[in-house]
Chains A and B, each alone.
Chain A
Amino acid sequence: MSDFKKPKTTAEYEANFPQLKPLMDANMAYYESSRCLFCYDAPCVKACPTSIDIPLFIKQIHTENLTGAAKTIYSANFFGHTCGKVCPTEVLCEGACVYNEQDVKPIEIGRLQSHATSDTIRKDKSIFKKADANGKSVAVVGAGPAGIACASELATLGYKVDIYEAKAQPSGLAIHGTAPYKITNQDVIDEVKYLQKQLGFKIIYNKNIDTRRELNTLESKYDAIFLGIGLGDTRSTGTPGEELENCIGATEFIEQLKLDPLSVTIGKKVVVIGGGNTAMDAASESARLGADVTLIYRRSKESKGAYEFEYDLAKSVGVKALFSTNVTEIIGDQKVVQLKCVKTQSTDGKLKNIDGSEFTIECDFLIRATGQVKQKDFLDLAGLEYDKRGKVKVDSDSGQCSNPQYFAGGDAVNGGAEVVNACAEGKSAAQGIHSYLLGKQS
């Protein structure tokens, strides 16, 4: 059982979801930054999808040049603040820190990064250089990390950029999908506002692009179109009973939690199906809402997709796990009451249910973290090629799609990765767009 009670007030909610990487104060940052060895050809930089010059910004923090540190960070990654908090640093920069090689605690790079960026955001320091307007305009579909990174880079190059966003808030999964103990919504929104104020791109909210007519308008009105459309709803696995009440997709569950945490529905005995990072998040979150949580994954513990530290985090709040277990049926009249399960066995990579190992478990709330669907309908509408798994086909350097006016990046291209990957892809696609439009000009 978890030690948490369902939060009834914002204060209780915040107490149940304390920040994993709280901001450092100046003193902590001073001492932590002093430890950096300033490695040559530093492994942390190589491990960062956006190649932030980490030793440089740490040195800048140490010499009390926080604005310089923020410039270093933002010149590589427009979501510098968000990434400092939500990146899986344990497997990226901090995991690559050479201190690990001698069993010394790696530098807390993520927290140092947020320390510098929070200072410039709070003080609203102007740090970006913008080229003169070049008279060209680009439409961005989706105000997630990929879209905003692309728009920001384009703005620095002198483009007029309009972002069309289906939801009411910017930054996509950075708000709607990241666990509340990693970053607050306000932090994410503040960073987008900070970028927008200096770079001047426009975001049109609550505007879903889903008709051919709308695409025609974009194609004629803009010189290029960037798609940062992400993924869709949670994928169905076809398990009987998925339609029952109290059976919800993880993406939808987390979005509700992030947007209105006190009104979110949760059960007493929650089961989360899945073995990825989203499953771990949903399980942790349910436990922090006071539920007794069991994670069920059809494959073995070793083959789960989640990072080890995410699994540890879930375990630390009381989540139990059943590996090599398949949920074959969701039972209940209107609401879920029980799950039929069976143990599984993997032979030569093929998963088989073990006959005779069937059992049932009680469950009054089921969260399916079984992946998100791809946006094939939209891609068909736009007439763009995608692979057999539904990922948009792009040129890996420029992000250009099969229709040269279109570019894409983020989850829709990589199939679902980290915020930092989306930032890297959005930014490099902006450069792709720039080269493409320069080429057309000459």
Chain B
Amino acid sequence: MADLRANLAGITSPNPFWLASAPPTNSGYQIMKAFDAGWGGAVWKTMGVPVVNVSSRYGAVNYRDTKMMGFNNIELITDRPLSDNLREIEEVKKYFPDHAVIASLMVQTREEWHQIIKDVENAGADGIELNFGCPHGMCERGMGSAVGQEPNVLQTITTWAKEVAKVPVIVKLTPNITDITEPARAAAAGGADAISLINTVQSIVNVDLDTFAPNPSVDGKSTHGGYCGPAVKPIALNMIKSCAQDRDVNIPISGIGGIETWRDATEHMLLGASNVQVCTAAMHYGFGIVREMKAGLEDYMDSKGFEKLDDLIGKSVPKVEPWEHLNLNYKIIAEIDSSKCIGCQLCYIACEDGAHQAIELSEVDGERTPHIIEENCVGCNLCSLVCPVEECITMVDVTKNKTHESWSDYINNGKAPTTFDDDRAGGKHHWVPEPKDALKKRK
């Protein structure tokens, strides 16, 4: 059986599933309950000078029948006195000495950082997470993402933390920045033991069409919030990949962003995360959701023959290359399995209106399975993505030229188009209907 024990920069936990610093980790009560339910670690809701919060605090993006596909919040760091939190950290560690309890912190001056780090270490914290990510409320006060967006400041504060910290220091990064590797490098340069990302994305989730106020609404007004939930996973995966590939970062990563299932968690780890942190899924379904994550990861590892997490962490990192290294000679085209087709014709209209007019309808009346026009198909995938039936549209390898030739090779070999009407244009041989043919299809 696969060993799920995780190690992030020396912080060990029974499994890689941690609760992220957020409302589910607001109190010792919640964290004890979470550990009892199977979570391997928890990052305590960010401590500092306690705040005063507003109501309401959350907004959501629902998609079709799915609630909370995206989620945002305008809640700040803890509103509880530090002494209460310290007492509860101590108690949790007494009951769960092998679980990871990380103290998320956000203060301003060097003295404050030194003091609070000593306090949480004395209480028994296994690690410290510097919250340089919060994108609302705190950044206006010069903290949170205001720090994460200034690599120099980030590096300085990281250095302050490392001056006193005896336990590993994790720097939590904001995605609200152009190049994530810049703050990641600054954290490494400041001596951070690990980075965690992503924090939430600045957002407005929706606008009430009657009151004209966006949500969440506070007495008729709103403010931008931090976006998270399943919708942000792709943004997180890309940023984790970028940090994992950067030689100047070169410290362990704790993956955060859109993790709801074992699959999401595994993807984070394949792209370089040593463990993962979860918030929205726990807020949506409760702590019990971890059972599915643990079981799924274990079964996956067993099926792949992975004995420990290190066998899979980072396995996909070399699978991501710059675009100019991809093989231009590789060619796939779509194939429709008429025995599975249900006749919705979404592939037809998607290709017709949104792609390359490479699917035609049958001439035979009553026959609703569309056909691929092979010479027009560019292998873009769109039809197979819109198809509601599993495995009905598959992409078939029709590569003729088996040599690997990338854009870089094209440039080096003089095959790349260089002028506006260059004969070497990639779309030169594609058939495109005449503009006026569009009107013939009018109903």
Residues of A within 8 A of B (CB): 30-31, 34-35, 37-41, 43, 62, 98-99, 101-102
B367 CB-CB contact with A under 8 Å: no
With contacts A31-B65, A101-B342 known, what are 6 further pairs, Cβ within 8 A? A30-B65, A35-B65, A37-B346, A40-B349, A102-B340, A102-B389
CB-CB < 8 A to A30: which residues of B? 65
CB-CB < 8 A to B368: which residues of A? 43, 98
* CB nearest to B347 among chain A residues: A40
* CB nearest to B65 among chain A residues: A34
Secondary structure dominating the interface of A: helix
CB-CB < 8 A to B345: which residues of A? 39-41
- Closest CB of chain A to B342's CB: distance in Å? 4
- Closest CB of chain B to A35's CB: distance in Å? 7
A37 B388 Cβ-Cβ under 8 A: yes
B346 A38 Cβ-Cβ under 8 A: yes
CB-CB < 8 A to A38: which residues of B? 346
B400 CB-CB contact with A under 8 Å: no
CB-CB < 8 A to A98: which residues of B? 342-344, 368
CB-CB < 8 A to B227: which residues of A? none
Instruction: Give the contacts of B353-409 with A (CB-CB under 8 A).
Output: 361, 368, 388-389
A102 B65 Cβ-Cβ under 8 A: no
Residues of B within 8 A of A (CB): 64-65, 340-346, 348-349, 361, 368, 388-389
Bound: A37/B389 CA distance, A:
11
* CB nearest to B341 among chain A residues: A101
- Closest CB of chain A to B265's CB: distance in Å? 27
- Closest CB of chain A to B363's CB: distance in Å? 14
- Closest CB of chain A to B226's CB: distance in Å? 27
Secondary structure dominating the interface of B: loop
- Closest CB of chain A to B362's CB: distance in Å? 12
Bound: A31/B65 CA distance, A:
6
A99 B342 Cβ-Cβ under 8 A: yes
CB-CB < 8 A to A101: which residues of B? 341-343
Chain A to chain B contacts (Cβ below 8 Å), 27 pairs: A30-B65, A31-B65, A34-B64, A35-B65, A37-B344, A37-B346, A37-B388, A38-B346, A39-B343, A39-B345, A40-B344, A40-B345, A40-B346, A40-B348, A40-B349, A41-B361, A43-B368, A62-B64, A98-B342, A98-B343, A98-B368, A99-B342, A101-B341, A101-B342, A101-B343, A102-B340, A102-B389
Given A31-B65, A34-B64, CB of A43 within 8 Å of CB of B346: no
* CB nearest to A35 among chain B residues: B65
* CB nearest to A31 among chain B residues: B65
CB-CB < 8 A to A62: which residues of B? 64
CB-CB < 8 A to B348: which residues of A? 40
* CB nearest to A37 among chain B residues: B344
A39 B344 Cβ-Cβ under 8 A: yes
Bound: A43/B342 CA distance, A:
11
Bound: A101/B389 CA distance, A:
10
Bound: A99/B345 CA distance, A:
13
- Closest CB of chain A to B358's CB: distance in Å? 15
* CB nearest to B361 among chain A residues: A41
CB-CB < 8 A to A102: which residues of B? 340, 342, 389
Identify which of B340, B344, B361, B388 gathers the most chain A CB atoms within 10 Å of its CB. B344
Bound: A441/B342 CA distance, A:
50
Bound: A216/B1 CA distance, A:
94
Bound: A38/B361 CA distance, A:
17
Identify which of A31, A99, A102 gathers the most chain B CB atoms within 10 Å of its CB. A102
* CB nearest to B66 among chain A residues: A34
CB-CB < 8 A to B361: which residues of A? 41
- Closest CB of chain B to A55's CB: distance in Å? 10
